[in-house]
Structure 1
Amino acid sequence: MSKLDFIRDEVQFRTYFDRAKAEIRLLAGKPRDELLYFDPIDIATQKFYDLLQALLAFQSNTEFVTLILNPDPFDYFHHHFGKYPGFIHRGENSDDEFFHFMMEDPGGSPADALGVNHQHYAIMPVDGDWIAFGDQSWDVGVFYGPANIMECAKNFYPFFLQPPERFRIDL
């Protein structure tokens, strides 16, 4: 059985981190009606996990990366735990592994588990062009991708919602 693990290599983490930040900055400039919105707590639900798997299958992919962008992954998380707040979920990993790993103690601090201690997170395929961005401060998540991915997501996931009135993406 395959086991998930934290990303330990700074270059690998920074590559995903920089890609996620760039994609989120692009989201900030998109018209509101081009984005799909969800509750950021959905990251902990089976249906959201199933959405990720459906999107991967739609693009013939099997791997996605989950990253915590805030609290600061470098000065806070890496400084305290010697690893980075992210992991790659591969085709051989299960949903149970995903949910278990999200709640895993990174090292002497259960309150810093990825599923507990995050203000901003990103989930995106290792190879692909969609992103799910969760912002706990606004209590909203944003999903975006190419038109065919957006259509696939809308058809699969019944829990998209309207964003708060003055919602804006802040990083």
Structure 2
Amino acid sequence: MNQLDYIHDLATFTALWSRARMGVQSLVSKSRDELLYFDPIDIATQKFFDLIQALVAFANTTDFATVILKPDPFNYFHHYFGKYPGFVHKKNNSDEEFFHFMMQDPGGSLADALGVNHEHYVIMPTDGDWLAFGDRSWDVGVFYGPPEIMQCAREFYPFFIQPPSGFRVEP
């Protein structure tokens, strides 16, 4: 049985959403060389999930949050489904639960599953200062964190890519 669930509480979601938005906004001022890039569809791959798990373990924490920033989580997702497009993956949750939940129907619209209907998403530890930002409109994801986290990510994940010409973070 899947123990993951959407966030139903406005205050809980808003705190994660605000932190995710501030993290993405901070990427705007970073030079291209400070960032690592990935295909945003990697969110649906085992190796990317393993990277996230490796990073939370490296940072000596266990939980991470997935938050959808676009489409609008308040006027669209919450309006239609009565919950917020995000969840916290805890130590006792499995990779199978993560992938199943990403494809779960939020309520009468399988096309709005988090793994399908996301233009911008953020994955970040609940306690920590790195983040992975996926932007499907550019077809690129951006990873950023402290130097030791960046080094861990580089050594663990062989699928980082070069960003497209002209790419810029657009929160």
Q: Deviations over 1:148-168 (max 9, x none)?
A: 000000000000010001000
- Say whether the 8 Å CA contact 2:7–2:86 is kept in structure 1: yes
> In the alignment, is residue 61 of structure 1 matched against residue 31 of structure 2?
no
Counterpart of 1:90 in structure 2 is 90
| C-alpha displacement of 1:85 | 0.2
Matched residue, 2:26: 26
Any idea what SS the aligned residue of 1:69 has? strand
- CA contact 2:70–2:118 (8 Å) conserved in 1: yes
Q: Which runs of 5+ in 2 are unaligned?
A: none
Q: Which runs of 5+ in 1 are unaligned?
A: none
Aligned partner of 2:162: which letter? Q
Moved segments of 4+, more than 3 Å: none
Say whether the 8 Å CA contact 1:74–1:84 is kept in structure 2.
yes
Q: Hey, what's the Cα distance between the residues in 2 that align with 1:66 and 1:54?
A: 16
Cα deviation, 1:48-103, whole Å, max 9, x if unaligned, reads: 00000000000111100001000000000000000000000000000000000000
Output the amino acid matched with 2:157: Y
1:9-42 superposed Cα distances (whole Å, 9 cap, x missing partner): 0000000000010111110110000000000000
Q: Normalising to structure 1: TM-score of the pair?
A: 0.99
- Cα deviation for residue 138 of structure 1 reads 0.1
Correspondences of 1:67-146 after superposition (within 5 Å): 67-146=67-146
Aligned-partner Cα distance in 2 for 1:119–1:47: 21
Give the deviation of 1:2 after TM superposition.
5.8
Q: In 2, distance between residues paired with 1:66 and 1:110?
A: 18
Contact between 1:103 and 1:114, CA under 8 Å: does it hold in 2?
Answer: yes
Cα RMSD between the aligned structures?
0.7
Q: How many residues align?
A: 171
Q: Distance in 2 between matches of 1:25 and 1:85?
A: 20
TM-score normalised by structure 2 residue count? 0.99
Give the counterpart letter for 2:129 in structure 1. Answer: D
| Correspondence 1:4-23 to 2 at 5 A | 4-23=4-23
Contact kept in structure 2, 1:2 and 1:92, CA below 8 Å: no
